[in-house]
Amino acid sequence: MVKYMTQQRRRLLEFLKSNPDKLFSPKEIAVQLDGEEVSLSAIYRNLAFLEESGVIGRVMRAGSKEVFYRALDSGVCHGRVHLTCTRCGKTNHMDAEVAKQLAEALRKSSGFEIDTARTTIYGLCKSCHS
Amino acid sequence: MVKYMTQQRRRLLEFLKSNPDKLFSPKEIAVQLDGEEVSLSAIYRNLAFLEESGVIGRVMRAGSKEVFYRALDSGVCHGRVHLTCTRCGKTNHMDAEVAKQLAEALRKSSGFEIDTARTTIYGLCKSCHS
DNA sequence: TTGCGTGCAAAGGTTTTGCATGGCA
DNA sequence: TGCCATGCAAAACCTTTGCACGCAA
């Protein structure tokens, strides 16, 4: 099935990509895109489509049942493992060296080949646990 | 506010603790507890309460919007990081030593405190990538 | 021109809530 | 006994879907 790049899809994707490590609920996205003629159902349909394509990712934060989305492979994030804080929701990148060591350790101990792009590590960031 | 340990709360908690490695949606829990006189609203209220208390954890799986719960500090999975294969779907535990090193490395490099119970690492397991 | 995507409104499903009753401490 | 928790049913919410029209390729 061939897919089109419609105005709505482009606007949604551009918005998420221009806010690389931030999380947005569908509702928040609707607010941000208000005035750009993107209906809520188009947002839902495109979020589902883009997630399935691996372009964006979906996350839940501790303590809330809201669902959040964020752009995945925007330049900066390429090949980086994400660290997401379950309290404030902020996402950072794992130190490249640590990621390399982790990949190596998993390969050796379990024969497991980590997919860095799809993996998010949860926990508390520096400012939230101190 | 003092909390009571009611029959319903005890049954729910016992059920989750007796299935350490498994995830259950509220609906599935209701089915499992059917015949034990726990109403769906009691299940929801207790899941929220137990999650807030840190006794159980809430998770979403990739590709589905269903919400799942599992007991946290129960024996088998205590402090174990999960490794899930994106091809065959099987989940294993990360080697304890590797997990320990990872936690330490994250703490040092980013001041990030990993939540092992909530983290799942994705990639290809031994038999799927070879 | 073809058929995917959109907008709207309605439907569907899950989770929450109000209220009277029941049960733990 | 005092108050939290439960059950039930209704309400609230979020997300999905059907349909006719619009638009990308």
Chain A residue at shortest CA distance from B98: A105
Given A74, A92, A120, which residue is the final one in a domain?
Answer: A74
Q: Collect all residues of chain A within an 8 Å Cβ-Cβ radius of residue B111.
A: 125-126, 130
B88-130 pLDDT, tens digit each: 667 788 998 999 999 999 999 999 999 887 788 888 889 887 7
Q: Do A119 and B114 touch (CB under 8 A)?
A: no
Number of domains in chain A: 2
> Same domain for B44 and B85?
no
Residues with Cβ within 8 Å of A89's Cβ and at least 6 positions away in sequence, in order, are A23, A59, A61, A68
> Same domain for B67 and B86?
no
Quick one: tokens of A97? 């060296």
Nearest partner of A119 among A84, A81, A85, judged by Cα: A81
Given A38, A54, A74, which residue is the final one in a domain?
Answer: A74
> Same domain for A2 and A65?
yes
A57-99 pLDDT, tens digit each: 888 876 678 999 988 866 656 668 888 887 887 888 899 999 9
Distance separating alpha carbons of residues A130 and B130, to the nearest angstrom: 42
> Same domain for B9 and B51?
yes
**pLDDT for residue B57:** 84
> Same domain for A24 and A70?
yes
> Same domain for A51 and A8?
yes
Please give the average per-residue pLDDT across B24-42, as a whole number: 93
> Same domain for A68 and A84?
no
Q: Do B113 and A129 touch (CB under 8 A)?
A: yes
Distance separating alpha carbons of residues A114 and A117, to the nearest angstrom: 9
Q: Which residues pair with B121 in a beta bridge?
A: B83
Domain range for residue B90? 78-130
A102-128 pLDDT, tens digit each: 999 999 999 999 988 778 898 999 999
The secondary structure of chain A in percent helix, strand, coil, rounded to multiples of 5, reads 45, 20, 40
| CATH code (residue A36) | 1.10.10.10
Q: Which residue is nearest to nucleotide C17 (CA to C1')?
A: B41
Chain B residue at shortest CA distance from A109: B95
Helix runs in A1-130, H state only: 7-17, 26-32, 40-52, 96-110, 126-129
> Same domain for A115 and A127?
yes
> Same domain for B6 and B33?
yes
Q: What is the CA radius of gyration of chain B?
A: 17
> Same domain for B69 and B13?
yes
**Which one of A110, A125, A130 would you mutate to disrupt binding with B, by most B Cβ within 10 Å of its Cβ?**
A110
Residue owning tokens 């979403």: B60
**pLDDT for residue A25:** 96
Quick one: tokens of A89? 């929701």
> Same domain for B28 and B54?
yes
> Same domain for B70 and B103?
no
Q: Which of B63, B109, B124 sits opposite A98 (nearest CB)?
A: B109
Burial of residue A130 (CB within 10 Å: 0-12, 13-18, 19+) is: exposed
| CATH code (residue A128) | 3.30.1490.190
The C-alpha of A82 sits at a distance from chain B's nearest C-alpha, in angstroms, of: 11
Nearest partner of A61 among A6, A122, A128, judged by Cα: A122
**pLDDT for residue B1:** 67
